[in-house]
């Protein structure tokens, strides 16, 4: 009898939580659309976007009136942001799904490509304000190794392996790294951050992943999969200089994964070797016969 009541209560709670999320999403859409429309009206009242960049007297006058009636949310700074919002995004489109808090952080970015990059990052990864600030602070856009000439706002696009990969890659650690095992443990403890440094679409498959060639068993340090370029990723960790045999080893692992795990509809397996050159860590991206070295750094978790 008690279970019957609990099931009904759980159903009501679940429905309420879903409704709350839907209301929050709807409320955010209303806020963003309202601010965008206010910006549009300001621009039109000032005679168009070119003149709107320079005419501020109207905003000053209206901000005084609106602030008296509705508070600081409509002061001069915010009305200027609404105007800038419309000028930056004359077509609202996908931006309506992004929270105003996110948009507010992005508006001061002068480079349109950089702004769109971070916006796409928020759309794809559902970044929080804190996570976005962290990406900007770490110069995520500047560290792209395959920076496009023009970044468009799109909810989905086809990526190559290096599109969102950073240089340097920043790996968070909890302590000084002295062994390959410690490096592996720290990466596993900060997988979300590690994935975001590598790019988008990475998922965890396993660590010390057992694979066999029929005679011997081998253990891959980290095995990942990326759903955006539809391929497995073999990662090997070396706390020393890269050696010729390292490439042979990871190519061997990649071939085993291709033969035993990869499905016909998957692309060829990709390899990454993380090594240490002098005092600097390097990520070596293995593609076909080439190795592309990228530097990265360890960052102590605060």
Euclidean distance between CA atoms 122 and 196, whole angstroms: 12
Q: Which domains does the chain have, with CATH numbers?
A: 2-93 (no CATH), 169-300 (3.40.1350.10)
Q: What is the pLDDT of residue 105?
A: 93
Which residues, 6+ apart, have CB-to-CB distance to 266 below 8 Å?
Answer: 230, 231, 232
pLDDT at 82 over 70: yes
Q: Kindly indicate the confidence band of residue 277, based on its pLDDT and cuts at 50, 70 and 90.
A: confident
Q: How far apart, in whole angstroms, are the C-alpha atoms of residue 92 and residue 289? A: 45
What's the chain's average pLDDT? 77
The residue ranking higher by pLDDT, 299 or 244, is 244
The pLDDT, as a whole number, for residue 257 is 92
CA distance 61 to 76: 9
The pLDDT of residue 189 is above 70: yes
Per residue in 109-152, pLDDT (tens digit) is: 999 999 988 988 887 777 888 989 998 998 888 888 777 788 87
Q: In angstroms, what CA-CA distances link 60 with 65, 90, 195?
A: 9, 22, 45
Dihedral of the alpha carbons of 72, 77, 80, 81, in degrees to the nearest 10: -90
């Amino acid at each position: 009898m008690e279970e019957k009541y609990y099931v009904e209560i759980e159903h009501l709670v679940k429905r309420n939580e879903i409704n709350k999320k839907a209301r929050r999403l709807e409320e955010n859409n209303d806020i963003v659309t309202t601010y965008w429309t206010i910006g549009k009206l300001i621009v039109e009242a000032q005679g168009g976007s070119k003149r709107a960049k320079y005419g501020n007297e109207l905003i000053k006058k209206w901000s005084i009136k609106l602030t008296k009636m509705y508070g600081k949310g409509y002061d001069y700074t915010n009305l200027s942001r609404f105007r800038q919002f419309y000028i930056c995004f004359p077509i609202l489109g996908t931006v309506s799904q992004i929270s105003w808090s996110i948009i507010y952080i992005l508006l001061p970015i002068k480079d349109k490509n950089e702004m769109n990059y971070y916006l796409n990052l928020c759309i794809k990864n559902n970044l929080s304000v804190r996570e976005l600030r962290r990406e900007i602070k770490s110069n995520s856009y500047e560290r792209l190794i395959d920076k496009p000439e023009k970044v468009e706002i799109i909810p989905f696009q086809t990526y190559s392996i290096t599109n969102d990969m950073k240089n340097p890659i920043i790996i968070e650690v909890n302590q000084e790294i002295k062994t390959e095992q410690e490096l592996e443990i720290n990466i596993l403890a900060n997988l979300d951050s590690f994935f975001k440094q590598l790019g988008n679409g990475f998922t965890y498959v396993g660590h010390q992943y057992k694979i066999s060639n029929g005679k011997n068993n081998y253990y891959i340090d980290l095995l990942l999969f990326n759903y955006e370029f539809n391929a497995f990723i073999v990662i090997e960790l070396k706390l020393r200089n890269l050696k010729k045999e390292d490439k042979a080893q990871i190519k061997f692992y990649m071939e085993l994964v291709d033969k035993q795990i990869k499905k016909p509809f998957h692309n060829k397996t990709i390899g990454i070797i993380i090594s240490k050159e002098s005092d600097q860590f390097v990520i070596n991206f293995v593609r076909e016969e080439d190795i592309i070295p990228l530097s990265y750094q360890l960052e102590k978790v605060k």
